[in-house]
């Protein structure tokens, strides 16, 4: 008997697909971590999102586990080395939400440049301010994309209709821009020198933890804007705030935060959060860049394929 545990919300097609394939399915989208620990020993596959951390303790409890499938892309919640040691296959589904993330990144940037959110709030309060909300055009800007995997490359495609210069750097890929002739594959140094806008599309690893920090900001030759739709801890929030206050960072759009459990903020985190939200040149969304109706379908299709292939 092959049993699968799903610990977060998925499209019905995954639920029905697994049942039709003969799997015994426990679909518990609201399950707590402690409850997962209590029952995980009974499953050959588990489908997780950010709230279910697959660390050494969790993996040790999973006697029958053959497959971990991550809804979306981030694998920082999984002890990959230990899973490999235990002969557990790990799969993620970045193809499922890469388009959604790219569209969201572009939407955030255009919203900031054109004061769409701020002016809408003003109008709801009967304030008609045209000159105050004069916008900025993307035309002629240089955009540096750091990380050119699923979302970085998709973001570049979304920018293809704008008259911008696109620079891209990926430490672990070469000749990645061959099919995107308008993208210049380059070095991190050139990105730091020429970019008006920096967009981060990297996973959270030991190497990328606080990759964006005071040293990064100091090396930027121009004042610039930041887009982060990757992971919150890629950016040092304290250094970001200092850069914004000093004017070196002209604005920031963020879909992720260092700590996304906002009800558990420390005093320092709460102050940083309030400082960011008080700034007119900062837009923050609650980790929804990849959260579309279409991506939910695409991700569920990919998860189903992975489970059918490995279990």
Question: pLDDT digit string (tens) for 29-39?
Answer: 999 999 999 99
- What confidence tier does 78 reach under pLDDT thresholds 50, 70, 90? very high
**Hey, is 233 helix, strand or coil?**
helix
Counted residue by residue, the chain has a size of 311
Distance between CA atoms of residues 177 and 148, nearest Å: 9
Residue in 141, 140, 143, 203 with CA at minimum distance from that of residue 171: 203
114-172 per-position pLDDT tens digit: 999 999 999 999 999 999 999 999 999 999 999 999 999 999 999 999 999 999 999 99
Domains of the chain: 3-92 (3.40.50.720), 96-284 (3.40.50.720)
- Is the pLDDT at 245 greater than 90? The verdict is yes
Q: What token pair was written down for 118?
A: 């701020």
Distance between CA atoms of residues 78 and 83, nearest Å: 8
- What is the arithmetic mean of pLDDT over 276-289? 97
Residue in 11, 24, 18 with CA at minimum distance from that of residue 305: 18
Residue owning tokens 């821009």:
177
- What confidence tier does 177 reach under pLDDT thresholds 50, 70, 90? confident
Catalytic (active-site) positions? 231, 260, 287
Q: Where are the alpha helices (DSSP H) in the chain?
A: 12-20, 33-39, 56-61, 80-85, 94-113, 116-124, 150-158, 188-194, 214-219, 237-246, 267-277, 293-310
Q: How far is CA 250 from CA 84, 106, 253, 259, 311, in A?
A: 43, 17, 11, 23, 50
Mean pLDDT of the chain: 96
Q: What token pair was written down for 265?
A: 């903020």
Output the pLDDT for position 175. 87
Q: Are strands 45-48 and 282-284 parallel, antiparallel or unpaired?
A: unpaired
How many CB atoms are closer than 10 A to CB 131? Answer: 5
- What is the arithmetic mean of pLDDT over 78-100? 96
Output the pLDDT for position 311. 77
Output the pLDDT for position 306. 92
- Give the global pTM: 0.93
- Is the pLDDT at 216 greater than 90? The verdict is yes
**Alpha-carbon dihedral 181, 207, 225, 232, rounded to 10 degrees:** 120
- What confidence tier does 310 reach under pLDDT thresholds 50, 70, 90? confident
């Amino acid at each position: 008997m092959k049993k699968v545990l799903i610990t977060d919300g998925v499209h019905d097609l995954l639920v029905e697909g697994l049942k039709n394939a003969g799997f015994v399915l426990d679909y518990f989208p609201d399950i707590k971590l402690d409850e997962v620990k209590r029952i995980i020993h009974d499953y050959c596959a588990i489908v997780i999102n950010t709230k279910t951390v697959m660390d050494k303790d969790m993996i040790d409890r999973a006697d029958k586990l053959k497959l971990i499938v991550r809804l979306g892309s981030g694998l920082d919640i999984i002890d990959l080395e230990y899973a490999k040691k235990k002969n557990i296959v790990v799969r993620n589904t970045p193809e499922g939400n890469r388009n959604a993330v790219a569209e969201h990144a572009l939407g955030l940037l255009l919203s900031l440049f054109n004061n769409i959110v701020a002016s809408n709030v003003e109008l709801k309060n009967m304030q008609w301010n045209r000159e105050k909300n004069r916008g900025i055009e993307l035309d002629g800007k240089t955009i540096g994309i750091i990380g050119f995997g699923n979302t970085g490359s998709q973001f570049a495609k979304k920018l293809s209709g704008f008259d911008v210069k696109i620079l891209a750097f990926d430490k672990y890929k070469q000749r990645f821009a061959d099919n995107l002739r308008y993208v210049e594959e380059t070095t991190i140094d050139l990105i730091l020198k020429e970019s008006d806008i920096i967009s981060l599309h990297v996973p959270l690893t030991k190497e990328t933890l606080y990759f964006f920090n005071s040293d990064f900001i100091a090396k930027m030759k121009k004042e610039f804007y930041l887009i982060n739709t990757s992971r919150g801890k890629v950016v040092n929030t304290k250094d970001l705030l200092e850069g914004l206050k000093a004017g070196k960072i002209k604005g920031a759009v963020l879909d992720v935060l260092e700590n996304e459990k906002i009800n558990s903020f420390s005093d320092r985190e709460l102050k940083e959060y309030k400082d960011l939200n008080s700034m007119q040149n900062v837009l923050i969304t609650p980790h929804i860049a990849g959260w579309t109706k279409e991506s939910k379908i695409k991700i569920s299709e990919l998860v189903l394929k992975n489970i059918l292939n490995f279990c």
